[in-house]
Chain A
C-alpha cells in the first residue's frame, strides 16, 4: 500500500493496478487516478520548478487550474509538454517527465536564479541589457548576445520534432441545449432540458460526471452525492436526445452561440482503436447554453506560500474523497472563509491529523467552531500564516495574530509542525465562457468575486458559476436553467434534498498577509506581491498594464489562481476598490488546446489535391508533376538522364517541328447562358462578344473595377444564348465570383446563369505543323480543314467514339486545336490523339514547354497580369473597346495608370548566352557590386529553342521606347549579372503566319 493511500474511499478501482513511470522511476496507481493523485499517493511532493526562479513546487490544485505540476507526456518520440499532472489519467505504460530543470527536479542549477532575487524583479529586462552605444556590441548585438542565454533558460517543456502519428478530428454538432459542467447544477439542467424533449449535449472536462458531487462528501436524496451524480448521469445516458461528452473541455464561446470544445478521446488509453482520434474538436452550435462551470478556490498570498505541501483546501478534499489519497499526515488549514472547515472534517475523517485551522477572521461562527472540533483541530481565529518551513517539502509553518480589518500582525510568532498546509482564499466563479461571449464581469463585494455579466448571447447560468456556492442552490438553479433553456415552464416536482455542512459563502476580504519573504501571486511565473507593488510604483496600474509588466496571469493557468489576488493587491496599493482596477476580458481558450485538435482532419492533409481526368496517365508516363494552386500538372515528361531544361527544350522543339499535346483541363471554364449572356459578356470583357458568331471563339480581356487588368482567356459561342468562357487556371474561382457578384448585386435584371464547368470538360491542346493531320486521322463526324475549322472556329465530332468539341486556337503560336470531351472520357480521347500522333512523332509536353512557347510568342499570364499592371502596360490596349463601357473602363485612364514611367512589357535576350532567372531586375548601369536604380524585373524566362537563345519577358520602365537598346540583368540574390538586349515581346512568328496556317 502506498504511504499516503487511504484504506477506503474514492472513485478509484483499487483492484486494478496501473504501472507508469515519472522521471524514469516506476510507480503504481489505480484506475481512476490522475498522475497527480497517483504520485501523491506514492509520497511524491516535488512536481516541478517555477519559471523564473526555478523554485521547487508541489501540487497546488487537483484540477485544470494546476500551475506548478506541469509534465511532459511521452509516447515514443512524440512529446506532449506542459500538461498539468492533475489532468493526466494514468494508464499502463504511461511515461511522464518533469520540466524546466537541469539536470533533475531535485537538483536544478536554474535555482541559482533565486539568488538574483530583487534584481530579477518585474520589468527588469526593460532596464538593462542595452549594451554599449559604441563598438562591436552596439545596436542590437549586446542584447542579442544576452538574449541567447535568456531564451535557453526560459521556456517550460520541450516540444518534439517527430511527427505526431495520432489523428485528430473535428465534429460539427447541433443541439437545443448545451450544458457546460456536470456538477449538480449541470446534471439537473441537462435532465430538465432532456425531459422537455430538447436535444441536449452535456460536456465536462473531467473523466467522470458529477463535479463537486464526486468529492463534496454531501448527501443528496439520501445517498452519497457521488452516487446521486452517477445515477443522474446513467439516466441521461439512456436518452436518445442526450449526448454525453466526458473529458471534454468547452474552451471557446464564439459568435452565434458557436462553442468550441476539446474531447480527449484516447489520451487516457494505452492504445487507440483503429481509426480512433486522439482528440476530437467539437464545434457546437447551441440554441441555448447552460453555464454550470462551477468556481475556483483562490490561494492566499503569504510568505513562502509556494512551498511543496501548500495546497488549496478543496484540492486536498478532492485527493481524499475522489482519489483516496491524503496530501499529508499532519495538516493545517489557513482560510478566510467557511469552506475550509468542511475540508478539515474531510481530512480528519480520512485519517489525517488536523493540527490547526488558522482563520484570518477573529469572529468565527459557532457552526464553524463545531466543525473545527469535529476535525479535532485547534482553531486559531484572528491569526494568519506568516511563514512556511522546510526545503523541498513542508515541515511546518509560523502563525501570528492578525487583524483582518487593518491587515496588521501582532504578537509572537508561533511554530506549528505540519507536512501539509491547506489554504482557502475564497471562491471565484468560473465565468470565462460568459466573458468570452462578450460582456464585462461584475464585482460582488459580498462574495468578494467577479460574477458573470448579463448575457450578451443565449446562455443561462446555474450554480457556483453564478455565485450560488451551495449544492442546494445549484440544484434549484440547474433545474430552472435547463427548463428555461428547453423552453419549458412546467415545474417538475420536488427538488432533490441536500444534506451538507453549514457555511456562509462570503469570505473576509483578506487576500494577502504582508510579512517578510516572497509571497507568490502567480505561482508559475513567479510574480510576487512585491512585483505587483513595484508595478504600481512605476505607474503600471491598470489591470492590463499589471499583467503585461509583471506577466501576472500570463502563465499556463491563465490567471485562474492569481487574477483576483493580484487585482486585490493592486487595489490596495491604489487605495481603490477592486472593480476600479478593472477586470480582464477572458478570451479563448479557457484552457490550452492542442494545435493538432484545431487542425483536426486537416492535420497531414492541409489541402485537397485537384486532379485532371488524365492525371493517372501522366504519372504512368513519367511526368514530373508541378503543384499549381491545388492542381497538379505535368511539368515535363522527362527522359532518363534529362535535365528539366533539356526536357522542355526537346518538348517545345518537337512541337514546333511536328506536333505536341498538353493537358489543359485545368483552365477555368464557366458556362454563361441565357438571353442576356452576350450583353453580359460585353459588359464584363473589354472587347465585344455580342458580335461573335455562333461556332466561333474570341480572346477576351477583363479588367477590375479599378481599371487594372484582371484575367484573360478565350470565350466560345456555342449557341445564340450559350457561351463557354475560359479563364486562367489560377483565377478561375475569382472570375466566377466576379461574374456572380455583378449578376446578383449590380445587374440583377440580366437573365444570365453562370456555372462552373471546369470539371465537366477534359481539355487537350494539340499544336504544331502536323496537328491538323493528327486530328484528321482520328476525328470522325466533322472535317478539320481550314474551311470547316478556320482560326477561332469550333466544330463538333467524335474521337474514339466519344463526342468532342474542337476549337482552333493557339497559345503556342503553332497551328493548334483545343479538344474538349466529357471529363470521364478525357483519358480515352487523350490516348486516341496520342495514338493518332505516333506516325508524326507527337510529343506530350508539360508546363515548362508550354511556358517556353508562350514566352516566345509574348503571350501574357499571371506573372504579367499580376494585379498591378494595366492593359496598356501589357500592350493589350487594342482590346479596349471604345464603343461601349465595360467593367473598369471609367477608371482605367486615371493619371497614375497612364503615367509614362510605368512598367511595360518587353522582351529580353541574354547577350552573354547564360540563363536568366525569374525575378531578376533590369538596370542601365554596369555596376554589379552596387545594385541600384532598378528599371524593372523579369516575369518569365526560358531557353528558346526557336531562337537558340536565353530569352525573357520583363516589365520595364520605358517599355517600347527601349526596344533595341541594351541593359543589364541584375540579380544579386543569385549572383547573376550580365548584358541583355531589350526587344519586342513577340519573339517568334510575330505576324502569326504559323497559327493561321
Chain B
C-alpha cells in the first residue's frame, strides 16, 4: 500500500503508523460526560468501505494525516494534513 503524504509524496505503508478511526471526536477537556468519553475512547466506526482514518507518517515527516481509504480494496481516496495550516506545496 502506498499513502501519498501531502508533504513527502507517495510512500510505502511501512513508513506510517495507523492511528485509527478519524471520525471520533474528543470531548472538551473538562467535559464530565462519561458517555461521550467512552464513545471517544472505545467505540469505532468500522465500515466495510470508505473509512476516514488518521495515520502518522512516523517514518517520514511525522505529520498526522487524515486519510480516506477503502477497507475492502485498500484504495486511498484522499490524504490531507490532520493539523491543517501548513499547505502542501507539492514536491520539489
Residues of A within 8 A of B (CB): 254-258, 283, 285, 438, 456, 683, 705-706, 737, 740-741, 743-746, 748, 885-886, 889-891, 894
Q: When the two chains form their complex, are residues B1 and A683 in contact, meaning their CB atoms are under 8 A apart?
A: no
Q: List 19 A-B contacts (CB under 8 A).
A: A256-B2, A256-B13, A740-B62, A741-B19, A741-B56, A741-B64, A744-B81, A744-B82, A745-B64, A745-B82, A746-B26, A748-B82, A748-B83, A748-B85, A886-B29, A890-B32, A890-B34, A890-B37, A891-B37
Partner of A285, one of B2, B40, B56, B76: B2
B73 within 8 A of A: yes
Partner of B1, one of A255, A283, A745, A890: A255
Residues of A within 8 A of B44 (CB): none
Residues of A within 8 A of B32 (CB): 890
Residues of B within 8 A of A (CB): 1-2, 10, 12-13, 17, 19, 26-27, 29-32, 34, 37-38, 40-42, 54, 56, 58, 62-64, 73-74, 76, 81-85
Q: When the two chains form their complex, are residues A894 and B64 in contact, meaning their CB atoms are under 8 A apart?
A: no
Residues of B within 8 A of A889 (CB): 29
Not counting A744-B56, A745-B19, A748-B85, a sample of 6 additional A-B residue pairs whose C-beta atoms are within 8 angstroms of each other reads A285-B2, A683-B29, A741-B56, A744-B82, A889-B29, A890-B34
Q: When the two chains form their complex, are residues B83 and A890 in contact, meaning their CB atoms are under 8 A apart?
A: no
Task: Please measure, in the bound complex, the distance between the C-alpha atom of A748 and the C-alpha atom of B32, giving whole angstroms.
Answer: 22
Q: When the two chains form their complex, are residues B73 and A706 in contact, meaning their CB atoms are under 8 A apart?
A: no
Residues of B within 8 A of A254 (CB): 1
Residues of B within 8 A of A745 (CB): 19, 54, 64, 82-83
Q: When the two chains form their complex, are residues A890 and B31 in contact, meaning their CB atoms are under 8 A apart?
A: yes
Q: When the two chains form their complex, are residues B64 and A740 in contact, meaning their CB atoms are under 8 A apart?
A: yes
Q: Which 10 A-B pairs have the closest CB atoms?
A: A256-B2, A744-B64, A255-B1, A885-B29, A748-B83, A255-B74, A744-B83, A885-B30, A256-B1, A745-B82
Q: When the two chains form their complex, are residues B58 and A737 in contact, meaning their CB atoms are under 8 A apart?
A: yes
Among residues of A, the one whose C-beta sits closest to the C-beta of B42 is A706
Q: When the two chains form their complex, are residues B64 and A438 in contact, meaning their CB atoms are under 8 A apart?
A: no
User: From residue A437, how far is it (CB to closest CB) to chain B in Å?
Assistant: 10
User: From residue B65, how far is it (CB to closest CB) to chain A in Å?
Assistant: 9
Residues of B within 8 A of A744 (CB): 56, 63-64, 81-83
Task: Please measure, in the bound complex, the distance between the C-alpha atom of A701 and the C-alpha atom of B20, giving whole angstroms.
Answer: 25
Q: When the two chains form their complex, are residues A748 and B84 in contact, meaning their CB atoms are under 8 A apart?
A: yes
Q: When the two chains form their complex, are residues A258 and B64 in contact, meaning their CB atoms are under 8 A apart?
A: no
User: From residue A281, how far is it (CB to closest CB) to chain B in Å?
Assistant: 14
Task: Please measure, in the bound complex, the distance between the C-alpha atom of A705 and the C-alpha atom of B39, giving whole angstroms.
Answer: 12
Given contact pairs A745-B19, A894-B34, A740 touches B56 in the complex (Cβ within 8 A):
yes
**Which residue, of A706, A743, A886, A890, has the highest number of chain B Cβ atoms within 10 A?**
A890
Task: Please measure, in the bound complex, the distance between the C-alpha atom of A257 and the C-alpha atom of B32, giving whole angstroms.
Answer: 47
Among residues of B, the one whose C-beta sits closest to the C-beta of A740 is B62
Residues of B within 8 A of A885 (CB): 29-30
User: From residue B49, how far is it (CB to closest CB) to chain A in Å?
Assistant: 15
Task: Please measure, in the bound complex, the distance between the C-alpha atom of A705 and the C-alpha atom of B29, giving whole angstroms.
Answer: 11
Tally of contacts, chain A with chain B, CB under 8 A? 68
Among residues of A, the one whose C-beta sits closest to the C-beta of B38 is A891
Residues of A within 8 A of B29 (CB): 683, 885-886, 889
User: From residue A306, how far is it (CB to closest CB) to chain B in Å?
Assistant: 41
Among residues of B, the one whose C-beta sits closest to the C-beta of A285 is B2
Task: Please measure, in the bound complex, the distance between the C-alpha atom of A743 and the C-alpha atom of B82, giving whole angstroms.
Answer: 10
Task: Please measure, in the bound complex, the distance between the C-alpha atom of A890 and the C-alpha atom of B38, giving whole angstroms.
Answer: 10
Residues of B within 8 A of A705 (CB): 40-41
Given contact pairs A255-B74, A745-B64, A706 touches B56 in the complex (Cβ within 8 A):
no
Residues of A within 8 A of B64 (CB): 740-741, 744-745
Among residues of A, the one whose C-beta sits closest to the C-beta of B2 is A256
Task: Please measure, in the bound complex, the distance between the C-alpha atom of A86 and the C-alpha atom of B10, giving whole angstroms.
Answer: 39
Task: Please measure, in the bound complex, the distance between the C-alpha atom of A706 and the C-alpha atom of B43, giving whole angstroms.
Answer: 12
Among residues of A, the one whose C-beta sits closest to the C-beta of B66 is A745
**Which residue, of B32, B34, B37, B85, has the highest number of chain A Cβ atoms within 10 A?**
B37
Residues of B within 8 A of A255 (CB): 1-2, 13, 74
User: From residue A838, how far is it (CB to closest CB) to chain B in Å?
Assistant: 45
Task: Please measure, in the bound complex, the distance between the C-alpha atom of A837 and the C-alpha atom of B73, giving whole angstroms.
Answer: 65
Q: When the two chains form their complex, are residues B2 and A737 in contact, meaning their CB atoms are under 8 A apart?
A: no
Task: Please measure, in the bound complex, the distance between the C-alpha atom of A866 and the C-alpha atom of B13, giving whole angstroms.
Answer: 29
**Which residue, of A706, A743, A745, has the highest number of chain B Cβ atoms within 10 A?**
A745
Q: When the two chains form their complex, are residues B73 and A438 in contact, meaning their CB atoms are under 8 A apart?
A: yes
Among residues of B, the one whose C-beta sits closest to the C-beta of A172 is B12
Q: When the two chains form their complex, are residues A737 and B56 in contact, meaning their CB atoms are under 8 A apart?
A: yes
Task: Please measure, in the bound complex, the distance between the C-alpha atom of A683 and the C-alpha atom of B29, giving whole angstroms.
Answer: 8
Task: Please measure, in the bound complex, the distance between the C-alpha atom of A256 and the C-alpha atom of B10, giving whole angstroms.
Answer: 10
Task: Please measure, in the bound complex, the distance between the C-alpha atom of A748 and the C-alpha atom of B66, giving whole angstroms.
Answer: 13
Task: Please measure, in the bound complex, the distance between the C-alpha atom of A256 and the C-alpha atom of B67, giving whole angstroms.
Answer: 15
Task: Please measure, in the bound complex, the distance between the C-alpha atom of A683 and the C-alpha atom of B1, giving whole angstroms.
Answer: 35
Task: Please measure, in the bound complex, the distance between the C-alpha atom of A725 and the C-alpha atom of B41, giving whole angstroms.
Answer: 26
User: From residue B15, how far is it (CB to closest CB) to chain A in Å?
Assistant: 12
Residues of B within 8 A of A743 (CB): 83
User: From residue A935, how far is it (CB to closest CB) to chain B in Å?
Assistant: 29
User: From residue A438, how far is it (CB to closest CB) to chain B in Å?
Assistant: 7
Task: Please measure, in the bound complex, the distance between the C-alpha atom of A743 and the C-alpha atom of B83, giving whole angstroms.
Answer: 8
Task: Please measure, in the bound complex, the distance between the C-alpha atom of A737 and the C-alpha atom of B58, giving whole angstroms.
Answer: 8
Among residues of B, the one whose C-beta sits closest to the C-beta of A174 is B10
Q: When the two chains form their complex, are residues A706 and B41 in contact, meaning their CB atoms are under 8 A apart?
A: yes
Residues of B within 8 A of A256 (CB): 1-2, 10, 12-13, 74, 76
Task: Please measure, in the bound complex, the distance between the C-alpha atom of A745 and the C-alpha atom of B63, giving whole angstroms.
Answer: 10
Q: When the two chains form their complex, are residues A737 and B17 in contact, meaning their CB atoms are under 8 A apart?
A: yes
Task: Please measure, in the bound complex, the distance between the C-alpha atom of A438 and the C-alpha atom of B37, giving whole angstroms.
Answer: 39
Among residues of B, the one whose C-beta sits closest to the C-beta of A891 is B37
Task: Please measure, in the bound complex, the distance between the C-alpha atom of A744 and the C-alpha atom of B54, giving whole angstroms.
Answer: 10
User: From residue B37, how far is it (CB to closest CB) to chain A in Å?
Assistant: 5
Task: Please measure, in the bound complex, the distance between the C-alpha atom of A22 and the C-alpha atom of B4, giving whole angstroms.
Answer: 52
Task: Please measure, in the bound complex, the distance between the C-alpha atom of A10 and the C-alpha atom of B54, giving whole angstroms.
Answer: 58
Residues of A within 8 A of B81 (CB): 744
Among residues of A, the one whose C-beta sits closest to the C-beta of B1 is A255
Q: When the two chains form their complex, are residues B2 and A258 in contact, meaning their CB atoms are under 8 A apart?
A: yes
Task: Please measure, in the bound complex, the distance between the C-alpha atom of A256 and the C-alpha atom of B1, giving whole angstroms.
Answer: 5
Task: Please measure, in the bound complex, the distance between the C-alpha atom of A891 and the C-alpha atom of B36, giving whole angstroms.
Answer: 11
User: From residue A294, how far is it (CB to closest CB) to chain B in Å?
Assistant: 27
User: From residue B36, how far is it (CB to closest CB) to chain A in Å?
Assistant: 9
User: From residue B89, how far is it (CB to closest CB) to chain A in Å?
Assistant: 19
Residues of A within 8 A of B26 (CB): 746
Task: Please measure, in the bound complex, the distance between the C-alpha atom of A885 and the C-alpha atom of B37, giving whole angstroms.
Answer: 13
Residues of B within 8 A of A283 (CB): 12
Among residues of A, the one whose C-beta sits closest to the C-beta of B14 is A283
Task: Please measure, in the bound complex, the distance between the C-alpha atom of A683 and the C-alpha atom of B30, giving whole angstroms.
Answer: 11
**Which residue, of B41, B63, B76, has the highest number of chain A Cβ atoms within 10 A?**
B41
Task: Please measure, in the bound complex, the distance between the C-alpha atom of A254 and the C-alpha atom of B12, giving whole angstroms.
Answer: 11
Residues of B within 8 A of A890 (CB): 27, 31-32, 34, 37
Residues of A within 8 A of B62 (CB): 740
Partner of B41, one of A683, A746, A886, A891: A891
User: From residue A763, how far is it (CB to closest CB) to chain B in Å?
Assistant: 24
Q: When the two chains form their complex, are residues B12 and A258 in contact, meaning their CB atoms are under 8 A apart?
A: yes
User: From residue A423, how far is it (CB to closest CB) to chain B in Å?
Assistant: 40
Task: Please measure, in the bound complex, the distance between the C-alpha atom of A434 and the C-alpha atom of B63, giving whole angstroms.
Answer: 34
Task: Please measure, in the bound complex, the distance between the C-alpha atom of A748 and the C-alpha atom of B83, giving whole angstroms.
Answer: 5
Given contact pairs A438-B73, A890-B32, A258 touches B1 in the complex (Cβ within 8 A):
yes
Task: Please measure, in the bound complex, the distance between the C-alpha atom of A748 and the C-alpha atom of B64, giving whole angstroms.
Answer: 11
User: From residue A14, how far is it (CB to closest CB) to chain B in Å?
Assistant: 47
User: From residue A884, how far is it (CB to closest CB) to chain B in Å?
Assistant: 8
Task: Please measure, in the bound complex, the distance between the C-alpha atom of A438 and the C-alpha atom of B72, giving whole angstroms.
Answer: 10
Task: Please measure, in the bound complex, the distance between the C-alpha atom of A255 and the C-alpha atom of B10, giving whole angstroms.
Answer: 13
User: From residue A255, how far is it (CB to closest CB) to chain B in Å?
Assistant: 4
Residues of A within 8 A of B82 (CB): 744-745, 748
Task: Please measure, in the bound complex, the distance between the C-alpha atom of A456 and the C-alpha atom of B17, giving whole angstroms.
Answer: 25
Residues of A within 8 A of B84 (CB): 748
Task: Please measure, in the bound complex, the distance between the C-alpha atom of A256 and the C-alpha atom of B79, giving whole angstroms.
Answer: 14
